[in-house]
Amino acid sequence: MARKNSFPGSSAGRHARSLGTRSAELGFAAPQVVAIRLGRMMQPGLPDTVEFQRMFTEKQSAFWRAGLAMAQQAFALQMSLGGAMLRGSWGWSPWSLLSVLDRGMAPIHATATANLRRLSRKRN
């Protein structure tokens, strides 16, 4: 008999696939964003100060949202585990922890991929 939250077909499996996809996309987007921004830094003339300031505020915002999302998901898992223990059943899988990572990766992934789309457009 399979466990309730066994990995392949459960929500943990969906979080693992989502986490893997987001990680791969982030792995491709982040170096491209860094390369575009470094290229802009090396251009002669006035530096793109607005973009550099945006870079810092976006990172702060993305990591703040990631930390908050992970804390909220960890709290939800803790409540689920506590409820299961009070009912006298386990009903929880260690794979559920992937949902915490997935929720934390979402804002960072969204910011990096949005940056790539925005910075890839031609400037006037």
Q: Mean pLDDT of all residues in the chain? A: 82
Q: What is the pTM (predicted TM-score) of this model?
A: 0.74
Domain ranges of the chain: 18-44+60-120
Question: Quick one: pLDDT at residue 37?
Answer: 87
The rounded distance, in Å, linking the Cα atoms of 100 and 98 is: 5
